[in-house]
Amino acid sequence: MSKGHTWRIILIVAFLLLSVFYLTPTLAPKLPSWWTEYLPKDKIHLGLDLQGGSFLTLEVDTPKAVEGQIDIIAADLEDTLNAKSLRFKRIEKVGTDQLAVVLYDKGSADATQKLVKDKYGRLEQLPPADEGGYMRLQLRIGEQEAKSIKDNAVLQALETIRNRIDQFGVSEPVIQREGIDHVVVQLPGIKDPKRAIELIGKTARLEFKLLDENINPATATPGSIPEDDEILVEKRTDPTTGVVTETPLVLKRKTMLTGDLLTDAQVRIDTQYNQPYVAIEFNSTGARLFDQITAANVGKRFAIVLDNTIYSAPVIRERISGGSAQISGSFTEKEAADLAIALRAGALKAPVRIIQNVTVGPSLGQDSIIKGLRAGAIGVILVVCFMLVYYKLAGMVANMGMVLNIVYLMGSLAALGATLTLPGIAAIVLLIGMSVDSNVLIFERIREELRLGKTPKAAVDSGYDKAFLTIMDSHVTTLLTGAVLFQFGTGPVKGFAVSLCLGIIINLFTSLLATKVVFDLFLARRNVKRLSI
């Protein structure tokens, strides 16, 4: 045996052993503890179409992110101007991306302009305008800055949704961006899709606001309250009857504290009333602000608002230090758990809207697996029979290469922790055909060389050499197509592309190297006068 044959055989056997090694967790779900501790335990995951679950397409309301940024800047600017003792009449929002600051004199306007330039350099400033003796300074978020905010909102939505789903306990989810403002979520094997959908879409914007107790909420209407007030509803559910009551309350629009400063949220049980509540912890900045706010507003009611719904509005009895608080209300344990998950994962900077919701039942997934495997088995059997009948003993070599192809491909999918989808199974069946096609090209070349009177050894060498460029050309072209499908496709298309690209690379190895080694070994050991081809 030559050195060239030795390293090729070592390579073929090594890849075969590695494939079996990585396929072990897939083929044997119950592995001993020593294996799972030290050796690969990733298996081939089944896609949504094979094991059932939910497929969601979400649209992120990115303009709301820009509007939210304007609200944050307005609140911060108000605090900054007060801290700098710069007198102003009012700060108001204009549209969704502009802010107007009305000041008493030109000196204050000039100082405010400089402050805005230093602190909010990303904002565009319009020249100050006279407004009935006052100076009106208009600020707006520029086009590039707005684009950046929208892009960050989508990325943050991706991360937040991923965190929520991880804590919800869905295994092997697929969460990815699609287009400019869409997010695709696949939840395979999920047993409670409705609850998961509610959790994903929850904005979870937590705010702490003071009540305006000078106004009677029973008689208040949106047109009768000051501009800096708003009317929100406090919902309470009777634990025995399940009846929901809604009580309107008048709140100050200004947000004193937001949920962005939270570090933890956990469900606790009130031992006195046996009711669940959500215990929250602030970071150092939040703890300091919460301490200052409660110290300055003892005796006043402080509303805890989530997504524009008041969960509770307790009276501040005393200064609260340490950065701990609780959100109580008429919760069920499931509602409290979902609220805690949403708060721990963080708030969405922009609301998301479900524009597509497809649920695949597990029975349909099982049916797909059976039909896919059946199609693959029928394809393999037909190909094996054809090659044996048409190419005789040489057909056995081609069949061996095809089996290696399948084992190598499944091992690669397992090693990469890839997800097998129904289109992925279709790609595997397609690759069986491509494997045979490569061998047909080689065998027909060998037949041509034999007809020219060459010896079997010379015919095999020449056949492989002459078919090499044709095989490479067809495989590289298909590989590029697969790469484009992977780059721009989503979901099932990506599953098809992954199987296709891996299979093409593997097929080049088996058709041009592995089968050639078998012929070389056979011809080197025997004085063959005639090939069975």
Q: Of 324, 372, 327, give the one whose Cα is nearest residue 495.
A: 372
Domain's final residue, options 311, 326, 358: 358
Mean pLDDT, range 288-307, rounded to an integer? 85
Taking each helix axis as running N to C, give the angle between helix 3-27 and helix 515-525, from 0 to 180 degrees, rounded to the nearest 10: 130
Q: What is the pLDDT of residue 31?
A: 74
Residue-wise DSSP of 361-372: -HHHHHHHHHHH
- Reported as a single tens digit per residue, the pLDDT across 420-463 is 777 888 888 888 888 888 888 888 888 888 888 888 888 888 88
pLDDT band per the 50, 70, 90 thresholds, residue 232: very high
Question: Which among 22-31, 133-142, 210-219, 426-435 has the top mean pLDDT?
Answer: 210-219
Q: What is the pLDDT of residue 4?
A: 60
Domain match, 104 and 228 both: no
Tell me which residue range forms the domain holding 406. 3-51+362-525
Domain match, 220 and 324 both: yes
Query: Do 204 and 307 form a contact (C-beta atoms < 8 A)?
Result: yes
Quote the CA–CA distance of 466 and 447 in Å, as a whole number. Answer: 12
pLDDT band per the 50, 70, 90 thresholds, residue 50: confident
Neighbouring CB atoms inside 10 A of 374's CB total 10
Q: What is the pLDDT of residue 168?
A: 66
Looking at the domain assignment, is residue 254 inside a domain?
Answer: yes
Domain match, 368 and 479 both: yes
Q: Look at residue 361 and tell me whether its pLDDT is greater than 70.
A: no
DSSP helix/strand/coil, 358: strand
Which one is predicted more confidently, 44 or 410? 410
Domain match, 317 and 378 both: no
Strands 53-60 and 88-94: unpaired
Q: Per the structure block, which two tokens stand in for 172?
A: 């092997």
Quote the CA–CA distance of 474 and 476 in Å, as a whole number. Answer: 6
Element (H, E) at 492: helix 492-509
Domain match, 130 and 236 both: no
Domain match, 430 and 492 both: yes
pLDDT band per the 50, 70, 90 thresholds, residue 249: very high
List of residues 6+ apart from 452 with CB closer than 8 A? none
Q: Look at residue 170 and tell me whether its pLDDT is greater than 70.
A: no
Domain count, the chain: 3
Looking at the domain assignment, is residue 340 inside a domain?
Answer: yes
